[in-house]
Structure 1
Amino acid sequence: MNTNIIIRKAIESDSEKLWILMEQLAVFENYIDSFEITPEIVKEAGFRKSPPDFYCWVAEDEDQIAGMLVYYFLPYTAQNRPAIYMKELYVEEKYRGHKIGEQLMNALKTEAVKNNCSQIKWTVAPWNKSGQNFYERLGAKENKDWLNYEWTV
């Protein structure tokens, strides 16, 4: 495996490869039965729509996408500064253990600073202990002040 990973913003031609990683994440997180994203949706929502529904960083290994970080901006917060919501962070299994997730998170942190964001927010499944340990190693703290709710419509 090449360890010359390049972290860059995703481009439209990455759509198919991003979709594959999104599908792998849906399997990993046990929501594949409700996964309705297609490569065309990725292309339209992330690259053709203005503004896009999401932004994305990728970790590229030659012509392979080894990992992705999908996020969007929360423009209005109580701090009168935007925040970033990280929706998905996924590194393909064979690339894990090479600090690719950390590189993607650092790219997101740089993006947050560049856009005057006050915070980066995300959720992690309670059963995903390796994910929790990873985020804590980076210095992130669990927010115990708020509970997550969902209302399916």
Structure 2
Amino acid sequence: MNIIIRKAIESDSGGIWSLMKELAIYEKYINSFVITPEIVRANGFKKNPPDFYCLVADDNQKIAGILVYYYLPFTAQNKPSLFIKELYVDTTYRGHKIGEKLMLALKEEAVNNNCGQIKWTVAPWNEGGIRFYNKLGAKENNDWLNYEWNIVNND
């Protein structure tokens, strides 16, 4: 196994989508998952600026893991933050520190772009994810409650 962590390129769209779909199954939101490889390509690689950025763990042109993130350009600290939307490693590649390598590459990206923080959410039932983040030294933030307001499109 020769894993290389790198920024995603357009030809990775299908592999990124595949792992996004696996994550949707794992996190039990597959019934509302509407992303396609074409959406990944259009929104992540054809738009300028893109809707999201992605780091991939590449094993000889097979995508073994993804870390999808975007920038929060304005914060109270007057520094951007990075927000992790998805971190997922293919089940056959787990146990090889790929998630940690992706997170460390994102930390480097944050430093290079003068970011003050990296933020993300984790499901309370995802005990493995919580252990992983704690092992990295991340701290749970209980200062804020997460809310969402689902907007139905009535076209």
Name the TM-score, length of structure 1 as normaliser.
Answer: 0.98
Match of 1:85 in 2: 83
In 2, Cα distance between equivalents of 1:43 and 1:36: 14
Instruction: Give the fraction of aligned pairs with identical amino acids, expressed as a percent.
Output: 69
Match of 2:51 in 1: 53
In 1, Cα distance between equivalents of 2:10 and 2:62: 15
Which residues of structure 1 form unaligned runs of 5+? none
What is the number of equivalent residue pairs in this alignment?
151
Q: How big is each residue's C-alpha offset from its partner over 1:54-79, in whole Å with a ceiling of 9 and x where there is no partner? A: 00000011121000000000000000
Which residues of structure 2 form unaligned runs of 5+? none
Q: How big is each residue's C-alpha offset from its partner over 1:15-65, in whole Å with a ceiling of 9 and x where there is no partner? A: 011100000000000000000000000000000000000000000111210
Query: Residue 41 of structure 1: which of 39, 45, 66 is its match?
Result: 39
The CA RMSD measured in Å over matched residues stands at 0.4
Q: How big is each residue's C-alpha offset from its partner over 1:82-101, in whole Å with a ceiling of 9 and x where there is no partner? A: 00000000000010010000
Name the TM-score, length of structure 2 as normaliser.
Answer: 0.97
**Off by >2 Å, runs of 4+ in structure 1:** none
In 2, Cα distance between equivalents of 1:8 and 1:112: 14
Match of 2:140 in 1: 142
Q: How big is each residue's C-alpha offset from its partner over 1:98-139, in whole Å with a ceiling of 9 and x where there is no partner? A: 000000000000000000000000000000000000000000
Deviation for aligned residue 1:80:
0.4
